[in-house]
Structure 1
Amino acid sequence: IETVAVSWQERDILTFQRAQQEVQALTAQRTFTADIMRAFEMQRRPTTKQQAFIDQWQRKGYKLEMITYAYELCVESIDKLNFSYIDKILATWENEGLTSREAVDAARAKRSSSPDTDTHSYSLEDYKQLMNNF
């Protein structure tokens, strides 16, 4: 109790109202972390670095749905849980203004259907003609 009291005093939590706010914030943080752990199928508590990512996602207001979708894409791509990879996915979506799974799916579909300017398509007849010239 003494440690908590000293910590709260150092952070200027000196009234009953501020104490209630602090307890609510801690409860929300624990709930968010528990939701992430369930979504990521984690069997142990997050490491300090992993918790920092989770706290950052909570501060930025990322929806659990989006974090879970980024996790699914991460595992599909690299076949393991990687917080840094998930964070990059989320940051990309944030920069592109994508705030729902549907918006992400639409953007991914648009990218995959748009023609790639670096690929060339040649017909078999053109290839045969080219080879016959040699």
Structure 2
Amino acid sequence: MSTFMFKSKPLKFTPVSNIFIERYMPKARGEFVKVYLIMLKYNFTGEPGVNSTVLATSLNLLESDIINALNYWNEEGVIKLVPIDKMGNFNIEFVDLSNDGNANVEKFNLVEELTNTSNGDMLKDIGRLLGRTLSPTEVETYIGWKKEFNFSYELILLLIEYCASKGKTNFRYIEKVAIAWNEMNIKTIDDAQNYIKKTEDKWGTYREILKFLGIRNADIMKPQEDMLEKWTSSYNYSLDIIKKACDICFQRLNRADFKYIDGILSSWNKDNLRTLKDIENKEASFKNASSKKVYNNSKTNNKPKLRFDNFKGRDYDYDDLEKKLLGWDTDD
């Protein structure tokens, strides 16, 4: 059970940002929206905190659904979830979204930019790629990238096309990709194509692992993605090694468990086991050591002496006792 502490002032109503409704709510799962709204309600009614059990009961969800929802909103930048301790308790703060969609408006004259034929053509192409009419916020943002990020018309179209090819056409996702490209200093078509190839190769490996684990949905949680990144990049393990760890997990637990697989691979990495042969040798060595230990224990494990072993039993004449009991020992 986790507890979440609020930083709030009591109100008799729950204000929901239009930015949240327009930008974040449409793409979020229904239960995630429910969790956000009830947490917002608790926040604005002056509650000092609430635990995940109460939330789960109120919304008819699992406690894990509550945690997943809050992690999702934290990653989206809608809330700030800060651990208080190692017991699963958090401070939670709701981010002010009022300026979220207006950051680029003050930087240029939108009407003037829309008269630019190049911008008009770009927006039409983006709408065609996304298969929908662009919102005013999207129009402002896409034009803003040309000035703020120094992205070219062609680079922006490539970015949109890349996102659409992954089935990600919501504005928030596209914006996050653009911010990431800017931070990685991707400014040319060649830079973008090299990055896309590298990313696709990486996710091709991830999808192969997920398929082996019986997971068809590639939209995994961030902690799971971090583990995949660690196995393939930090540990630099091949698919064969990772699948071997998955096999061991299935044999022992009869299910896929990321943390268990991570423990196996971390142990192999610590022991510098880099090939399947290394792992087989290690397993064989362990089995031999175990069998010798069992054999030695069976040799030395003699039956312990009981404290009655030194007791000397009495000798009885049972025929004589029987006669005495029956009274036959008396001569008339």
Sort the TM-score into its range (normalised by shorter chain): 0.7 to 0.9
Give 1:15's aligned amino acid.
T
**After superposition, where does 1:15-30 map in structure 2 within 5 Å?**
15-30=188-203
What residue is the counterpart of 1:53 in the other structure? 227
Residue identity (%): 22
Supply the distance in 1 between the matched residues of 2:288 and 2:240 (Cα, whole angstroms). 25
CA distance in 1, matches of 2:197, 2:237: 19
Aligned twin of 1:43: 216
> Equivalent residue for 1:86?
261
Q: RCO higher in 1 or 2 (8 Å CA, sep ≥ 6)? A: 1
Residue type matched to 1:33 in 2? Y
**Over aligned residues, Cα RMSD in angstroms?**
2.5
2:208 counterpart letter in structure 1: D
Deviation at 1:64, TM superposition (A): 0.5
2:280 to 102, 105, 123: 105
Higher helix share: 1
Which of the pair has more CA radius of gyration? Answer: 2
Q: TM-score, structure 1 length as denominator? A: 0.81
The alpha carbon displacement at 1:96 in A equals 1.1
1:38-85 CA deviation, whole Å, 9 max, x = no partner? 211213233322122112222122111011010110111122211111
1:11 paired with 2:184, answer: yes
Give, as a single letter, the amino acid of the residue that structure 2 aligns with 1:120: N
Gaps of 5+ in 1: none
Compare the two structures and name the one with the higher strand fraction. Answer: 2
Query: Which segments of 5 or more consecutive residues in structure 2 lack a partner in the other structure?
Result: 1-159, 161-173, 312-332
Q: 1:65 aligns with which of 217, 240, 245?
A: 240
SS in 1 for 2:298: coil
Shift of the 133–65 alpha-carbon distance from structure 1 to 2, 3 Å rule, reads farther
Question: Shift of the alpha carbon at 1:86?
Answer: 0.5
TM-score computed with the length of structure 2 as normaliser: 0.36
Counterparts of 2:298 and 2:254 in 1: how far apart (Å)?
Answer: 32
User: Take 1:5 and 1:48, find their aligned partners in 2: how far apart are those partners?
Assistant: 19
1:13–1:98: structure 2 CA closer, same or farther, 3 Å change rule? same
CA deviation after TM superposition for structure 1 residue 122, in Å? 4.0
Q: Measured at CA, do residues 108 and 48 of structure 1 come closer, stay the same or move farther in structure 2, by a change above 3 Å?
A: same
Alpha-carbon offset, residue 104 of structure 1:
0.9
Whether 1:32 and 2:208 are equivalent positions in the alignment is no
Q: What is the alpha-carbon distance in structure 2 between the residues aligned to residue 100 and residue 133 of structure 1?
A: 59
